[in-house]
Structure 1
Amino acid sequence: MSNINHSEISHEIQPTEALLQMIVSPWVSRSIYVAAELGIADLLKDGSQSCGELAKVTGVDERSLYRLLRALASVGVFAESQPGCFELTPLAECLQSNRKDSLRGYAIKSGQVWDLQPWGHLLECIKTGKPVFENLFGVDIFEYLSEHPEAAKIYDQSMTSFSAKRIAAITAEYDFSAINTLVEVGGGRGSLLASILKANLTMKGVLCDVPHVIEGAKQLIAGEGLSQRCELVAGDFFESVPSGGDAYLLKHIIHDWDDERALQILQNCRRVMQPNTKLLVIEMVIPKGNEPFFGKLLDLQVMLNYPGGCERTEAEYQDLFEAAGFNLTNIVSTSTPLSVIEGVPAKSDRISVF
């Protein structure tokens, strides 16, 4: 029997222990992935269940499942309500698939080989300054997803769940009311544009993306009752974008690309814009200093996987906008890490190159 007096143990976390927790954080991430893949949070929606019941439903080994859930309970994901029985916690609730802001899809993506493997080559990426995804899989991430429908489905589901809270914040916190026609460039299935249109009843929308993505967007737009107000245009934003918008919106597009290709996208927008048309770029703007910011870590993921992509600072966006023929007029923060970076066409038609 232990003689340790637990009341005398200091709860102050020493630097070595704090760093150790960071070092083993991938273990936590992988454990969350397995729980998400098994759908444990959904199985606990009606209350506590025994590990035996959970193991029977999911078809896994009971003892191993217990050890997994015990480890997750130790970091606040699930709770052991009584010996061998587990229940949801606020963190675990975020893994339920029926929540609009569910992170189950994002957790499942984090456990895929194509998402994990590049991180094993971070040192190589740092040494060369080049993404490693194409070296590992033979094609860049966009081609990989287009060639692997199941991976694309997982990726799309993860982005949908990851974006839900951010879409709500953008729609509620940015004033779109003066825009008559909003063109979203690279808008995916149209979740953001649909949300904005539903909040601004007189607005019309144009959704532009590559053909197979636009095919997938038809169902969402129709399901939201927006088919009469939202035009779907298949195309390639490296070649052209639709004309006729009062504002052009690009969410999580520019950060995928190096300056040269980001500039090409922005210039294509600039060419079809009138003097009073707005450019709205929605990205994470890296702040100064060493305060925690999700975009600083996401920047590493982008660096590993995307062709020259990066999260940028305000000064870097200023330079990029100027080179594309825009004046950066404002940066509107939201309650999420995302900001709306506003621009208008510069009076001069001269467009620079990097």
Structure 2
Amino acid sequence: MSISGPDNDTTKRIQLRAALIERIGGYMTAHALGVVADLGIADLIKDGVRSSDELAAETGAHEPSLRRVLRLLASVGVTTEPEPTRFGLTEVGALLRSDSPDSLRAFTRVFCSPMWFTAWQGLGQAVTTGELAFSQAKGSDFYTSLTADTEFSALFHEAMGEESRIAAARVAAAYDFSHAIKVVDLGGGDGTLLAAILTAHPHLSGTVFDSPSGVADAPAVLGKAGVADRCEVQPGDFFQDIPGDGDLYLIKSVFQDWNDEDALALLRSCRTRIPESATLLIVGTVLPEIPSADQSIAYFTDVNMMVMAGGRERTESEFRTMLSETGFTVQSVRFGAAGPLSMIQATPSAA
């Protein structure tokens, strides 16, 4: 007597259930990634294959538990297990190495941290009430908490630098800087983006402008890039005042941090201070008017900003409305001009 397999309808139903269960378990993968990033496992594996006994001994971890976590990550394509209890890294997993030029170790540690998970537990309340999940969980807004926790603040700014590294080279190559003389990077953090631009375009000078904690590492980054002699580092609050001596003002991945009221306030601050002949270049995510599955990361970011800081991603029409309301005229919108990031070029509107 033969045993028949499941029919096509049953197979499809099983596959659909498995697909949903994998998505439900996404937070488990994130926790596992956070633990491995905190322990520095990828730095210990590097290009070779290491046993879980060795990795546990060097990190002080419990070997059977670590082995099971690494096995989970192997199942989702982060680690490999070419033979039992011996683990390597996939190309994706290699991004957890701190010495990788494309490292996302700090980024992983931030987004898989207890601070993030605690805030995300309030997503249901945020959806029901519209209240900010982070503030409900922590009793203060994200940026106040970040300022108060110097250790996490340093890690956060390192993570933002990692996120900017690849985008920086793309922005430097994608925009025509030939008509600019001085670039002011508002919210420029550690100067990663401006360093790449000044390196690619030697005729330029620049200013990195951000909060005191945001620019703390900028002198070192600019010095390492060899452009410190052409770039100022200026701490400040871009809602209150910004440098008025640039002819190109760059804002990358900043508007997503803020709600509409604050985003409009930032644009008004820019409009008050920048010269009439200057150009404003916004680099960041521009959502399609209708959701697209091939831009899923943008929607993760959108809801993450809703949870953490009350910010949001925006569509082209929403950007155009905000810029028009604050006295700017959109000259061009280039989708995907810098990899996944788009560019919006605007100028002060005629009085």
TM-score by length of 1: 0.91
CA distance in 1, matches of 2:66, 2:215: 41
State the Cα deviation string for residues 65-107 of structure 1 (Å, max 9, x = none). Answer: 1111111111111111112211121111111110121111111
Q: How does 1:83-122 map to 2 (within 5 A)?
A: 83-122=84-123
Which residue of the partner structure matches residue 298 of structure 1?
301
Amino acid corresponding to residue 298 of structure 1 in structure 2: T
State the Cα deviation string for residues 43-62 of structure 1 (Å, max 9, x = none). Answer: 11141111111111111121
State the Cα deviation string for residues 301-324 of structure 1 (Å, max 9, x = none). Answer: 100111x31100000000000011
Q: Are the counterparts in 1 of residues 157 and 214 from structure 2 also a CA contact under 8 Å?
A: no
Which residue of the partner structure matches residue 167 of structure 2?
166
State the Cα deviation string for residues 145-203 of structure 1 (Å, max 9, x = none). Answer: 11101111221122122222222221222222221111111211111111101110010
Which residue of the partner structure matches residue 339 of structure 1?
342
Which residue of the partner structure matches residue 200 of structure 2?
199
Which residue of the partner structure matches residue 42 of structure 2?
41
Q: 1:11: how far off?
A: 9.2
CA distance in 1, matches of 2:71, 2:143: 38
- Cα gap change, 1:176/1:122 in structure 2, threshold over 3 Å: closer, same or farther? same
Q: 1:213: how far off?
A: 3.0
CA distance in 1, matches of 2:68, 2:218: 41
CA distance in 1, matches of 2:280, 2:42: 41
- The answer to whether residue 327 in structure 2 is matched with residue 325 in structure 1 is yes
State the Cα deviation string for residues 255-308 of structure 1 (Å, max 9, x = none). Answer: 2112222112111211233333110111211113332211111111100111x3
Q: 1:221: how far off?
A: 2.0
Over the aligned positions, Cα root-mean-square deviation in angstroms equals 2.2
- The answer to whether residue 321 in structure 2 is matched with residue 284 in structure 1 is no
CA distance in 2, matches of 1:262, 1:64: 45
CA distance in 1, matches of 2:233, 2:266: 19
Task: Give ranges in structure 2 of 5+ residues lacking alignment.
Answer: none
Q: Are the counterparts in 2 of residues 79 and 87 from structure 1 also a CA contact under 8 Å?
A: yes
CA distance in 2, matches of 1:142, 1:310: 16
Partner SS state of residue 213, structure 1: coil
Partner SS state of residue 211, structure 1: coil
Q: 1:144: how far off?
A: 0.8
Aligned length, in residue pairs: 344
- The answer to whether residue 185 in structure 2 is matched with residue 184 in structure 1 is yes
CA distance in 2, matches of 1:73, 1:322: 49
State the Cα deviation string for residues 184-232 of structure 1 (Å, max 9, x = none). Answer: 1121111111110111001010121223433432222223222221122
Q: How does 1:1-354 map to 2 (within 5 A)?
A: 14-292=15-293, 293=295, 294-306=297-309, 308-332=310-334, 333-348=336-351
CA distance in 1, matches of 2:47, 2:4: 38
Q: Percent identity?
A: 35
CA distance in 2, matches of 1:219, 1:190: 9
Q: 1:111: how far off?
A: 2.5
- Cα gap change, 1:101/1:13 in structure 2, threshold over 3 Å: closer, same or farther? farther
Structure 1 segments, 4+ long, off by >4 Å, are 8-13
Amino acid corresponding to residue 149 of structure 1 in structure 2: T
- Cα gap change, 1:36/1:13 in structure 2, threshold over 3 Å: closer, same or farther? farther
- Cα gap change, 1:105/1:211 in structure 2, threshold over 3 Å: closer, same or farther? closer
CA distance in 2, matches of 1:12, 1:72: 26
Partner SS state of residue 243, structure 2: coil
- More deviation, 295-304/40-49: 40-49
Q: Are the counterparts in 2 of residues 180 and 204 from structure 1 also a CA contact under 8 Å?
A: yes
- Cα gap change, 1:223/1:209 in structure 2, threshold over 3 Å: closer, same or farther? same
Q: Are the counterparts in 2 of residues 130 and 303 from structure 1 also a CA contact under 8 Å?
A: no
CA distance in 2, matches of 1:164, 1:90: 18
Q: 1:125: how far off?
A: 0.7
CA distance in 2, matches of 1:252, 1:235: 18
CA distance in 2, matches of 1:181, 1:41: 40
Task: Give ranges in structure 1 of 5+ residues lacking alignment.
Answer: 349-354
CA distance in 2, matches of 1:259, 1:74: 41
- Cα gap change, 1:13/1:201 in structure 2, threshold over 3 Å: closer, same or farther? farther
- Cα gap change, 1:276/1:13 in structure 2, threshold over 3 Å: closer, same or farther? farther
Partner SS state of residue 154, structure 1: helix
